[in-house]
């Protein structure tokens, strides 16, 4: 033996390269197998597991992580993972996302740049305010009265506000790509609901385009240029039919023109969006300015009344029967409309003869007190005359013919529910912000804030306009839908300042812009649904131009829009799109309610101001409004959605998006079990389904009851829990004990409030019984994916049934079964369910990424009252060539996307030489192991020899510790303190007690691989003790057992050293699949 020697790592470079090459081939084969298995989802495949290309070159270099080197085959180092995450950008949007998936390549996406105001608030404002405000709100106020109109608007605004709250929760639960409500519903409730509601939302958006186009034509032909009408009124009473035909002709022309604009230059539509928004805002400002002006100078818009009947001023100019000119009485044009000649003795209409013609102000002003007259509703039949209540009138003969006389008639029958259907489209458009999520700086902050502020603003505008219209405008003018009594002016325009043309021109451009945006957005929505592949017969609409523009989808959209144009009546089209939007909003609320009630671990919205009761209330309100608007339209819309749902279920492509319905199915009976058994659950639905392995004593009582306490704290009554144990023997002999053991375990489960199932297995061999439980526990989809067990404290004592061999074999079997493993060390120090930690930390030591278990477990524990006030800290290890500052930033960004709040710290572990203590610790470990193998000693002798080795280790520890501390100050190679003389003296010292085999044992050299592993364990233990000695719980990656079974006992020693000095430790070993995701 040399006089002195230096311990250096053995770099078997040739062998290393050969092994690395073999590992590459094995991993390539494994990757091929992996691609054929799993959930088969390319869109949301995780970049975190089985990424062997991450830092493969330096994966095995260095000694600090040698303990985990066999894990690196499938699990990357955290530093490599964070380096990949640093390049993460927001998901590509819309068409680009689908094309990138099909072509298997990502296109670069420009950095998000829009804030809350520009990106969410203004688009929502533009989409909510529109045609109904300008063309129909005054008529709704006049017909329903201020009070009932207030109720209508409040119900609709409450519906959208509740939906916005639910939408905000879903939109802030991870990274939400563009796709609006379709994406949120399909990923929350599954492809069947998503496809059905997505197509309904598409139809609603398309019919909204038709409604905006009809509104544009109505403004053009009624208020801007009535002479442009193609179909003229030939006979009395044909005004409505002529108007509808004009709508059809002009509407068809405009929809074709808009389609060409969208096809050729969609970018110009987006550029003009601000112009259209400016028109809306200026028009609303003009309305409020006009209201203020009426307080001191009301505009002059006189109304002509015959008795209490309103007259249309389109046919005459003077509101009188006669005029006096040069002491001569002359009849007016009004006289000639009611009489058969212009002579004073002509035969006139009976009502005209009995009643006087009077003139009143159409806009008396806000101080006039007209509000009290407009509080109550005035519903009427189709074709009835608009009359002023409480105005003197003498009834004429019933036979008097109304047709052809210049009265203002109602064009449709009015009632409360019909007005709700007409009004509701004016509050849609709340999804505009979520559709732009990829263009926002911080979508999870901007979407809730901007959407809710926009709804609050528009609700205030609508509600205030109702009161102001009722307080400023005469009731007969409010009920005059087309402004015939005020010379054909737009009614809301008569109130505006400085001119009615501000409203007319502003509303014209705003409806044009809204129509263009509907024709732009609807084809993209259809293209997204088609490219998801869930509805086979519409897949053709997923194709488009080379730049991704949805050509075929645009053609179908124009065709469906033309159907709405042919209906030609704005009042008839509005309830149709109300149905589709209400159904969409109903399922958004349902999605939020289901996710909240299921409490899936992935459900962690950053928007906290939601509750399942609000979502349920919003869903109920949407359903009620559907039947209030039109019960037959509601049934038709639900029938269409139901047919699409069943079609997708029967013929559609199978998709697994981690939806809430799949999570709900886990709690159902046979149907759900068969459905879940189709494949493994999606990452978003993953939760630890525990198999808890208990040890029983001779009385069949549980040795470690705290293990069940920890189980209930981890599960909180959710998911699957199977509590298993093994009795050694033959089942026929152990029936009674098995029943007793099962009763004891169930009783303890009741005390600890552990909800789950108990399974006792009798096996001739304890180790085989554990294997049976791991393989066969559970049923179908209700099968465990995680094994929880206690650390065998007395593993060095051979009489322990659960020896270290059983433990290591259990670790290997859980890995082979692709199940996660949790090992609780010092389980008797863990808290009971009655204890409460008022402070402290849960420390996570993230060494290798094995699926995210280390992130998920503290989140689940902190849901329980015991751990709720503990803070989460995450430590990761940086080595010499890692950028610690960048690693910390990347880890913080990763946690932000995971919606987890934790303190982050990067601990630096630099390369240094192996200490003398580590070398001696490894040597003594191997000597003890070799000694017990060579010597067939009795029980007492074996314990005495083991104690001898322990004493020798303790005696020799002090001197090396001093020299190691001195050597640490100088980063040179550390010299061992073992000299030849000292070694010979040590041999002679114990010569009398040694047997012949000791000579070989003391001459042996430690295995270099074991030295490196012990070096990792010692160093890592020192770092963990330094940072987490006083933590309430320490979670640590559990290194895998050696591939060579000869080193199993050494593996136990490594784990002992790794966790030495810590009170509560949870060793975590992942299952090899992702259990946590940044996606929504």
- For residue 876, the surrounding DSSP H or E stretch is strand 871-878
Torsion of CA 652, 657, 658, 664, to 10 degrees: -20
pLDDT in tens, 663-716: 555 544 566 666 666 566 777 777 788 999 998 888 888 888 999 999 988 876
Confidence at residue 965, expressed as pLDDT on a 0 to 100 scale: 38
pLDDT above 70: residue 308: yes
**Alpha helices in 321-442, H assignment, sequence order:** 333-338, 350-354, 416-423, 432-435
**Mean pLDDT (whole number) for 585-597:** 88
Q: Which of 44-48, 49-53, 927-931, 1000-1004 has the highest mean pLDDT?
A: 927-931
DSSP 77: B
pLDDT above 50: residue 957: no
pLDDT above 70: residue 642: yes
DSSP 203: H
pLDDT above 70: residue 106: no
Specify burial of residue 242 (Cβ count, 10 A radius: 0-12, 13-18, 19+).
Answer: middle
**Mean pLDDT (whole number) for 165-186:** 75
pLDDT in tens, 525-535: 888 888 888 88
The sign of the torsion formed by the CA atoms of 131, 136, 141, 147 equals negative
pLDDT in tens, 278-289: 888 999 999 999
Worst-scoring range by mean pLDDT, 2-11, 635-644, 774-783?
2-11
Model confidence at 949, pLDDT cuts 50, 70, 90, reads: low
Model confidence at 440, pLDDT cuts 50, 70, 90, reads: confident
pLDDT above 70: residue 1066: yes
Give the chain's mean pLDDT. Answer: 78
- 177 or 102: which leads in pLDDT: 177
Confidence at residue 145, expressed as pLDDT on a 0 to 100 scale: 94
Rounded to whole angstroms, the Cα distance separating 625 from 420 reads 8
pLDDT in tens, 829-886: 999 988 898 889 999 988 888 778 888 889 889 888 899 989 999 998 887 777 888 8
Cβ 225 vs Cβ 631: under 8 Å: no
Confidence at residue 403, expressed as pLDDT on a 0 to 100 scale: 65
Q: Which two tokens stand for residue 638?
A: 């639900």
Rounded to a whole number of angstroms, the CA Rg of the chain reads: 40
- 775 or 923: which leads in pLDDT: 775
Closest CA to 70 of 925, 1039, 899: 1039
Cβ-Cβ contacts under 8 Å for 660 (sequence gap 6 or more): 188, 189, 190, 591, 594, 595, 598, 600
Model confidence at 1033, pLDDT cuts 50, 70, 90, reads: very high
**DSSP conformation letters of 588-617:** HHHHHHHHHHHT-TT---S-----HHHHHH
pLDDT in tens, 258-282: 999 888 876 777 777 788 888 889 9
- 773 or 656: which leads in pLDDT: 773
pLDDT above 70: residue 307: yes
Confidence at residue 37, expressed as pLDDT on a 0 to 100 scale: 41
**Considering the entire predicted model, what is its pTM?**
0.69
Confidence at residue 967, expressed as pLDDT on a 0 to 100 scale: 38
Confidence at residue 81, expressed as pLDDT on a 0 to 100 scale: 67
pLDDT in tens, 334-347: 888 888 888 888 88
Q: Give the pairing type, strands 820-825 and 786-790.
A: parallel
pLDDT in tens, 122-169: 888 888 888 888 989 999 999 999 999 999 999 999 999 999 999 888
Distances (CA, A) of 665 to 160, 716, 815, 985: 29, 19, 27, 72
Cβ-Cβ contacts under 8 Å for 685 (sequence gap 6 or more): 600, 602, 658, 659, 662, 663, 666
Confidence at residue 938, expressed as pLDDT on a 0 to 100 scale: 45
- 80 or 60: which leads in pLDDT: 80
State whether residue 762 is helix, strand or coil.
strand
pLDDT above 90: residue 644: no
Residue 458: alpha-carbon gap to chain centroid? 26
pLDDT above 60: residue 903: yes
Q: Which two tokens stand for residue 618?
A: 């919003």
State whether residue 1036 is helix, strand or coil.
strand
State whether residue 359 is helix, strand or coil.
strand
Distances (CA, A) of 286 to 373, 500, 753: 25, 9, 65
**Mean pLDDT (whole number) for 187-207:** 82
The sign of the torsion formed by the CA atoms of 1043, 1045, 1050, 1054 equals positive
pLDDT in tens, 356-404: 899 898 899 888 889 998 999 999 998 888 988 888 888 876 555 566 7
Rounded to whole angstroms, the Cα distance separating 690 from 813 reads 15
Torsion of CA 1034, 1035, 1037, 1041, to 10 degrees: 80
pLDDT above 70: residue 995: no
Model confidence at 109, pLDDT cuts 50, 70, 90, reads: very low
């Amino acid at each position: 033996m040399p006089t002195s020697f230096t311990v250096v790592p053995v770099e078997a470079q040739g062998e290393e390269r050969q092994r690395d090459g073999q590992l590459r081939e094995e991993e390539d084969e494994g990757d091929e197998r992996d691609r054929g298995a799993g959930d088969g989802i390319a869109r949301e495949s995780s970049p975190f597991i089985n990424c062997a290309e991450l830092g493969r070159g330096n994966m095995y270099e260095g000694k600090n992580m040698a303990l985990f080197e066999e894990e690196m085959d499938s699990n990357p180092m955290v530093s490599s993972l964070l380096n990949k995450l640093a390049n993460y950008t927001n998901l590509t949007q819309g068409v680009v996302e689908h094309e990138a998936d099909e072509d298997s390549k990502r296109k670069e996406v420009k950095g998000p740049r829009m804030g809350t105001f520009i990106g969410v608030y203004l688009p929502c404002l533009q989409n909510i305010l529109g045609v109904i405000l300008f063309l129909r709100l005054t008529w709704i106020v006049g017909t329903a009265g201020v009070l009932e109109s207030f109720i209508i608007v409040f119900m609709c605004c409450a519906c959208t506000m509740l939906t916005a709250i639910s939408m905000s929760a879903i939109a802030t639960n991870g990274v939400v790509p563009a796709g609006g409500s379709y994406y949120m519903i399909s990923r929350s409730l599954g492809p069947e609901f998503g496809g059905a509601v997505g197509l309904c939302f598409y139809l609603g958006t398309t019919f909204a385009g038709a409604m905006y186009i009809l509104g544009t034509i109505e403004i053009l032909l009624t208020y801007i240029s009535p002479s442009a009408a193609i179909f003229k009124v030939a006979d009395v009473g044909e005004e409505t039919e002529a108007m509808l035909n004009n709508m059809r002709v002009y509407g068809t022309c405009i929809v074709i023109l808009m389609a060409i604009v969208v096809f050729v230059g969609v970018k110009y539509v987006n550029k003009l969006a601000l112009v259209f928004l400016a028109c809306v805002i200026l028009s609303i400002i003009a309305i409020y300015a006009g209201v203020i002006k009426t307080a001191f100078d009301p505009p002059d818009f006189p109304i002509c009344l015959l008795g209490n009947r309103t007259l249309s001023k389109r046919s005459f100019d003077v509101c009188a029967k006669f005029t006096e000119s040069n002491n001569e009485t002359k009849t007016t044009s009004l006289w000639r409309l009611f009489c058969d000649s212009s002579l004073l003795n002509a035969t006139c209409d009976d009502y005209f003869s009995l009643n006087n013609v009077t003139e009143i102000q159409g806009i008396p002003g806000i101080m006039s007190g007209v509000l009290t007259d407009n509080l109550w509703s005035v519903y009427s039949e189709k074709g009835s005359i608009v009359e002023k209540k409480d105005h003197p009138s003498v009834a004429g003969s019933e036979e008097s013919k109304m047709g052809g006389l210049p009265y203002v008639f109602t064009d449709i029958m009015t009632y409360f529910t019909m007005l709700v259907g007409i009004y509701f489209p004016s509050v849609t458009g709340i999804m505009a912000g979520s559709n732009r999520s990829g263009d926002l700086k911080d979508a999870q902050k901007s979407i809730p804030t901007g959407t809710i502020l926009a709804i609050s603003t528009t609700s205030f505008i609508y509600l205030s306009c109702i009161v102001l219209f009722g307080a400023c405008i005469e009731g007969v003018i409010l009920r005059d839908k087309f402004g015939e009594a005020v010379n054909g002016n737009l009614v809301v325009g008569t109130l505006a300042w400085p001119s009615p043309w501000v409203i007319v021109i502003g509303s014209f451009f705003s409806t044009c812009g809204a129509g263009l945006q509907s024709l732009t957005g609807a084809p993209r929505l259809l293209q997204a649904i088609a490219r998801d592949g869930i509805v086979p017969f519409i897949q053709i609409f997923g194709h488009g131009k080379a730049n991704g523009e949805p050509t075929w989808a645009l053609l179908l959209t124009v065709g469906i829009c033309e159907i709405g144009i042919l209906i030609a009546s704005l009042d008839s089209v509005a309830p149709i799109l109300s149905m589709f939007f209400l159904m969409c909003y109903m399922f958004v609320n349902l999605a939020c309610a289901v996710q909240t009630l299921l409490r899936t671990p992935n459900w962690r919205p950053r928007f906290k101001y939601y509750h399942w009761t609000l979502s349920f209330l919003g869903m109920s309100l949407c359903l009620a409004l559907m039947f209030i608007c039109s019960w037959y339209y509601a049934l038709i819309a639900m029938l269409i959605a139901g047919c699409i749902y069943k079609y997708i279920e029967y013929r559609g492509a199978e998709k697994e998006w981690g939806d809430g319905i799949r999570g709900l199915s886990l709690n159902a009976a046979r149907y759900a079990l068969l459905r879940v058994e189709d494949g493994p659950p999606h990452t978003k639905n993953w939760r630890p389904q525990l198999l808890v392995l208990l040890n029983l004593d001779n009385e069949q009582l549980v040795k470690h009851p705290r293990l069940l306490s920890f189980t209930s704290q981890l599960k909180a009554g959710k998911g699957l829990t199977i509590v298993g144990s093994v009795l050694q023997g033959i089942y026929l002999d152990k029936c009674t004990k098995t029943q007793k053991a099962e009763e004891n375990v169930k009783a303890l489960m009741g005390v600890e409030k552990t909800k789950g199932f108990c399974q006792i297995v009798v096996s001739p061999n304890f180790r085989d019984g554990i294997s049976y439980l791991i393989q066969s526990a559970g049923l179908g989809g209700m099968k465990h994916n995680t094994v929880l067990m206690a650390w065998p404290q007395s593993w060095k004592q051979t009489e322990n049934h659960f020896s270290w061999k059983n433990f290591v074999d259990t670790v290997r079997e859980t890995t082979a079964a692709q199940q996660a493993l949790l090992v609780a060390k010092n389980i008797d120090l863990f808290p009971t369910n009655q204890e409460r930690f008022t402070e402290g930390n849960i420390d996570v030591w993230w060494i290798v990424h094995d699926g995210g278990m280390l992130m998920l477990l503290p989140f689940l524990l902190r849901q329980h009252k015991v751990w709720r006030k503990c803070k989460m800290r995450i430590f990761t290890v940086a080595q010499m060539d890692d950028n610690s500052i960048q690693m910390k930033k990347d880890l913080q960004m990763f946690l932000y996307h995971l919606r987890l709040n934790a303190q982050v710290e990067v601990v630096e572990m630099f390369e240094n030489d192996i200490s003398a203590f580590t070398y001696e610790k490894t040597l003594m470990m191997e000597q003890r192991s070799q000694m017990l193998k060579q010597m067939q000693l009795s029980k007492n002798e074996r314990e005495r020899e083991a104690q001898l080795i322990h004493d020798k280790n303790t005696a020799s520890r002090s001197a090396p510790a001093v020299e190691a501390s001195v050597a640490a100050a100088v980063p040179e190679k550390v010299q061992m303190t073992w000299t030849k003389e000292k070694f010979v003296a040590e041999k002679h010292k114990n010569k009398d007690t040694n047997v012949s085999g000791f000579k070989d044992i003391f001459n042996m050299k430690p295995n270099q691989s074991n030295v490196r592993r012990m070096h990792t364990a010692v160093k890592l233990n020192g770092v963990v003790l330094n940072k987490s000695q006083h933590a309430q719980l320490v979670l640590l990656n559990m290194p895998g057992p050696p591939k060579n079974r000869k080193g199993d006992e050494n593996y136990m020693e490594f784990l002992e050293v790794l966790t030495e000095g810590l009170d509560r430790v949870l060793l975590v070993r992942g299952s090899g699949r992702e259990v946590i995701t940044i996606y929504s």
